[in-house]
Amino acid sequence: MAGVKATPGQGAVGIAEVRTKSTAIILFGSPGSGKGTQAKYLVEWLRIPQISTGDMLREHIRSGDAIGKAIVERMRAGSLVSDELVNQLVFERIHQPDAERGFILDGYPRTTAQAEEMMRLLAAAEAREVVIHLVVDYNIIISRIAGRRVCPKCGTLYNAVSRPPKTEGVCDLDGTKLVVRDDDREEVVRERLAQYERQTQPLIEFFRATSERMIEVDASHDAPEVVFERIRVQLKDLVRQ
Ligand code: AMP
């Protein structure tokens, strides 16, 4: 990911230094809140995998398998896919060996049913959750997503304003022509935000009520590096408890 580097002196902290048992970091925020970028920083810092349900679902669509065919229309329309499907995908993924020491959930859970299932999964896996809520303003999200481009080859995200590629329209890393993700089109973005308000916002209340480890970070104005520093400071305090 372009520009995602541990800043000098920060180093990569082994997960063992900041926790005593397996930790599930739940990265929470509306579409366009910077979840993906912050997840990449966290991966680099903690050396645990990012589990993005959006990426897993897009991979099924790309591969053209039965799951991909079943979900392609809902994804295009910006609607959520079924709880059963994402719960199953996450269940399988968190039991892979690389997720043993912990993992970062990006885009999951999105509904109360998913959150309840996730808490059961984590209890069974003896993992504890740390919830990070990226708080952003609605209008800022719309303008941010409108400028968003992705490299179809390596997945690096760019933004016309906050993270432009060195050469307009081209990936810094592999020179591939950047594209607008299907679900970043404006009408789809509005639908995704409406979905978020309706189904996911209540989860913030759910976690406020049920989780002892929740961080709420202002992610509206500052550069991703600054937002990450805020997360890092609070996270260190939390996982040491
Ligand atoms: P994302 O990349 O996380 O913004 O997700 C893109 C799209 O994938 C969403 O608009 C949904 O259609 C679908 N999706 C991703 N995660 C979930 C989830 N946890 N539950 C249901 N649908 C999801």
Q: Tens of pLDDT along 63-89?
A: 999 999 999 999 988 788 999 999 999
Q: How far apart are the first and last CA of the chain?
A: 31
Q: Tell the residue nearest (CA) to atom 22 of ligand 1.
A: 80
Which pTM does this prediction carry? 0.75
Q: What is the DSSP letter of 4?
A: -
* Predicted local confidence at residue 240, as pLDDT: 57
Please give the average per-residue pLDDT across 225-238, as a whole number. 90
Work out which ligand 1 atom sits closest to the CA atom of 82.
21
Q: Tens of pLDDT along 141-194?
A: 887 777 889 999 998 989 887 789 999 999 999 999 999 988 788 788 888 788
Q: Tell the residue nearest (CA) to atom 5 of ligand 1.
A: 54
Work out which ligand 1 atom sits closest to the CA atom of 188.
10
At residue 227, does pLDDT exceed 90?
yes
- Give 211's pLDDT tier (boundaries 50, 70, 90): confident
Ligand 1 center to 207 CA (angstroms): 19
Peptide bond into 49 cis (omega under 30): no
Q: What angle do CA 124, 90, 48 make, to 5 degrees?
A: 85
Residues with CB under 6 A from ligand 1: 31, 53-54, 57, 74-75, 78-81, 86, 107-110, 114, 183, 192
Average pLDDT, the chain: 85
Q: Hey, which of 26, 53, 104 would you mutate to test ligand 1's pocket, going by the most ligand atoms within 8 Å of its Cβ?
A: 53
Across 211-223, b (16+ Cβ under 10 Å) vs e yields eebbbebebeeee
Work out which ligand 1 atom sits closest to the CA atom of 57.
8
Task: Say which residues have a Cβ less than 8 Å from residue 102's Cβ, sequence separation at least 6.
Answer: 15, 19, 22, 23, 24, 25, 46, 48, 127
Rounded to 10°, the helix 186-195/66-77 angle is: 90
Report the half-sphere exposure of 72 (CA within 13 A, side-chain side): 10
Structure tokens at 7: 């800043």
Active-site annotation, residues: 35, 110, 148, 181, 192
